[in-house]
Amino acid sequence: MTAALSTDQLAERHAATLDAALDALRTRAYWSPHPEHPKAYGENGTLDAAAGQAAFEALRERRFELDQPGTDGWTGSEVSPYGPRLGIEYPHADVAVLLPAMRAAMRPWREAGPRTRALVCLEILKRINARTHEMAHAVMHTSGQAFTMAFQAGGPHAQDRGLEAVAYACAAQSEVERTAEWVKPQGKREPLTMAKEFTAAPRGIALVIGCNTFPTWNGYPGLFASLATGNPVLVKPHPRAVLPLALTVRTAREVLRETGFSPDLVALAAERDGEGLAKTLAVHPDVRIIDYTGSTAFGDWLEANARQARVHTEKAGVNTVVVDSTADYRGMLSNLAFSLSLYSGQMCTTPQNLLIPRGGIATDAGHKTYDEVVSDLAESVRQLLSDDTRANALLGALVNDQVKERLDAASRIGEVALASRAVTHPDFPDATVRTPVVVKLDGSKPDAEAAYFSECFGPVSFAVAVDSTADAVDLLRRTIREKGAMTVSAYTTSAEVEHLVEQVCLDESAQLSLNLTGGVYVNQTAAFSDYHGTSGNPAANASLCDPAFVTTRFTTVEVRRHP
């Protein structure tokens, strides 16, 4: 097959970026090849804001063509959380035709080797990056994220996580791909000699089960880790967030074709209403790898039932902030206010339980009682979101009715320290935009535990009064161990408390941010430096990205013979 884009050309374009990515994994210093400012786009073949919006609008009210094998109809019913229906239909796959086509595409992809696969993945990411403005609208109108967040988290930050996975995959496989001469002495006799070849071999078809809130950010690590390790990838998007992954699949297929590989190495499996396609695909014997982000119930089901596959899950957790003391009271309050407000708390990393000693805390602004801390935090959130334009830009829209129902129910759980407020969106009057609610709970009351000891996904936080910091640390441990946590945060000026919290996080495997008072928020992680999840507590059995995230996706096959 002649390739429009040769391996040499790919290396010329991307080798330096790949090497920089491999280096960043080791140093874990700040690095990204993907600009995060919308104005950085518009030159060198990238779409500017207007072209991106036009491209998105041109997708609406029509069929999204993908020339994949085995299309047996069309499906799609996405409605933007901002109101408008998208009106896009996607090919529905006959998996009895599609899966064999994907398997048939594997061998040349395996034979290409880890570095060529990585370079092809980098070309895919580069083309996705060039259309970030289009993707931003696609993510905004499926997840409900505000535009800037949809642009950054759905664009460059997701692309960073994809590239990180490619780099990890390339490094892990490169350690394996080699030949060896093995010579074992036999005393006075001739030594035994063997020539050995070691190849990184893929497992089989990888299934990515997308989520509604972060279709690209949570989808790319698994997608690119599996593809870069030689596996075909079937993408089953959330039915309300198909478009961002459909665009991704289309770009991947285009690049695969141009580089001389079968486009069927990446395919879309959009589902019909109520089809339950994820369940069917997850237990298919040809599916050998699964990446999933979503509910604990379905994640647990996958882990228990998809026995033929390696299953990577990110499920629900309960994120805690231990508030012991601070040397920057205002900084703490404004940092927390931002964390609670961003995307209306619809992030798996948003803090939920703020554990505050009922005796109050020491701060640079003097001693603050529990009530003062809570009301000051409430005021901080109120001020942050007082302007509707700014509120809309931070909050985005509620992604679905269940989030709104949980928000409404939260006010009845305890004393409301900060009531939720409905915000009107100037461009999208049908959008449900809400500020977060903060509810006061007494940690010593058993009925309060029912509320704070489970995930309440959305703009709901609990200010839990605890007996002491030691009590908070105990509750933190129990929460991580039993419920899991994607993030832990703590504020303290005490080296001893810092040490205690660190020990809990090391004992129970949770990622810890200490004394965040500036422009870094506990709910955000940066690829190449921060890990997202640990894989060691019930919130997720995978970490983005650690070596285990890629080493599960390929095997090492040895062929040995006498030389």
For residue 212, what is the DSSP state? S
Task: Verify binding: residue 548, a copy of itself, rule CB under 8 A.
Answer: yes
> Which own/partner contact pairs does 525-528 have at CB distance under 8 Å and 24+ positions apart?
525/349, 526/30, 526/32, 526/157, 526/160, 527/32, 527/157, 527/160, 527/161, 527/163, 527/164, 528/21, 528/24, 528/25, 528/28, 528/29, 528/30, 528/31, 528/32, 528/160, 528/164
Among residues 337, 365, 362, the alpha carbon closest in space to that of 350 is found at 337
Task: Verify binding: residue 113, a copy of itself, rule CB under 8 A.
Answer: no
Written as six digits, the tokens of 470 are: 């030691």
Query: Is the CB of 123 or the CB of 164 nearer to a copy of itself?
Result: 164
Which range touches a copy of itself (CB under 8 A), out of 272-280, 315-323, 385-393, 542-550? 542-550
Binding to a copy of itself, residues 480-519 (CB under 8 A): 502-503, 505-507, 509-519
Q: CB 545 → a copy of itself: shortest distance, Å?
A: 10
Task: Verify binding: residue 262, a copy of itself, rule CB under 8 A.
Answer: no
Q: CB 26 → a copy of itself: shortest distance, Å?
A: 8
Which range touches a copy of itself (CB under 8 A), out of 21-29, 62-70, 77-85, 374-382? 21-29
Exposed e or buried b for every residue in 299-313, given b needs 16+ CB within 10 A?
A: bebbbeebebbbbbb
Q: CB 396 → a copy of itself: shortest distance, Å?
A: 23
Task: Verify binding: residue 562, a copy of itself, rule CB under 8 A.
Answer: yes
Q: CB 119 → a copy of itself: shortest distance, Å?
A: 21
For residue 42, what is the DSSP state? S
Which range touches a copy of itself (CB under 8 A), out of 90-98, 275-283, 394-402, 528-536? 528-536
Task: Verify binding: residue 520, a copy of itself, rule CB under 8 A.
Answer: yes
Query: Is the CB of 234 or the CB of 539 nearer to a copy of itself?
Result: 539
- Left (φ > 0), alpha (ψ -120 to 50) or beta: where does 162 sit? alpha
Contacting residues for 2 by C-beta, under 8 A, at least 6 apart? 260
Number of residues that bind a copy of itself (CB under 8 A): 68
How many angstroms separate the first and last alpha carbons of the chain? 33
Q: CB 191 → a copy of itself: shortest distance, Å?
A: 8
Task: Verify binding: residue 116, a copy of itself, rule CB under 8 A.
Answer: no
List residues near a copy of itself by CB under 8 A.
26-30, 106-107, 110, 172, 175-176, 178, 180-186, 192, 194, 196, 198-199, 201, 203, 300, 303-304, 307, 502-503, 505-507, 509-520, 526, 529-531, 534-536, 543, 546-548, 551-552, 555-562
